[in-house]
Amino acid sequence: MTGHIAALYRHPVKGFTPERLDHAELTAGGPFPCDRLYAIENGPSGFDPAAPAYIPKQKFTVLMAIAEVAKARTRYDEASGVLSATADGQPDFSGSLQQADGRIAFAGWLTALLGEEVRGELKVLDAPGYRFMDHPLGHVSIINMASVRDLEAKIGRPVDPLRFRGNLYVEGWPAWVENEWEGRELMIGFARAKVFKPIVRCAATHVNPDTAERDMDVVKALFDNYGHMNLGIYVHVTDSGRITVGDAATMPSLEPTA
């Protein structure tokens, strides 16, 4: 069965505002473009930009730990490295995350916004070629919109798909079929990818992306209704290609790949 790509999003700064795209160029073996380039360290994390290695997300200013992160509305200009940010009660911010003074300025702006939630000095982190993914092998994430709607039906209230902070949102697949696709290949636009694993959800999904309130226990709802805490899948790109909103998203064949 063939679905289609309904929406594409990147998250340049881990935990902050998703940015909607019309298209993206996927590269074999690579992550989603301009996704999780930066993370904001909340006190010493042990991350070494000279030897980057996976660090648990609890070390950063992310929704799982700090719901108030959703109060910030950010936008990143990839060409210039300039991040723009707004929040109620805060002066507007604009500064380059590619420059030391811009990083320090954004850390100061965010410290004022988060207040008592700040555990230590905030610091903007990055490293060439490194991405701050929730899973060290979580290259590209796909959300099946039918699964989100089935969850909505079970709990009797709307669930904003952006709670799941995916890269691709797909329409046209049956609900929850993606949980059985580990090791299988699928086509998305003009790229090919292999399913790595389902995405196990955490308390970040409890935060309303519009209000910054913890207003829904999504993890409990998943477990109570389905016996698992999965929503979405991670895939690894095996053949490079452009993906565009409206492109086909073809379900895997029945047989797992080698």
Region 172-199: what's the mean pLDDT? 97
| Per-domain boundaries in the chain | 2-31+135-250, 39-125
**What is the predicted pLDDT for the residue at 253?**
73
**What is the predicted pLDDT for the residue at 254?**
62
DSSP assignment of 162-216 equals GGG--SEEEESSPTTGGGG-TT-EEEETTEEEEEEEEEEP-GGGGB-TTT--B--
93 CB contacts (<8 Å, ≥6 apart)?
83, 84, 85, 86, 105, 106, 109
The pLDDT tens digits of the residues spanning 133-165 come to 999 999 999 999 999 999 999 999 999 999 999
Q: Nearest Cα to 196, choosing from 248, 245, 238?
A: 238
Tell me: pLDDT of 110 over 90.
Answer: yes
Using pLDDT thresholds of 50, 70 and 90, give the confidence band for residue 108. Answer: very high
Query: What's the pTM value of the predicted model, to 2 decimals?
Result: 0.95
Q: Of residues 143 and 117, which shows the higher confidence score?
A: 143
- Tokens matching residue 36: 């999780």
Tell me: pLDDT of 173 over 70.
Answer: yes
Share of the chain above pLDDT 90, in %: 96
Q: Which fold has domain 2-31+135-250?
A: M1 Pyruvate Kinase; Domain 3 (2.40.33)
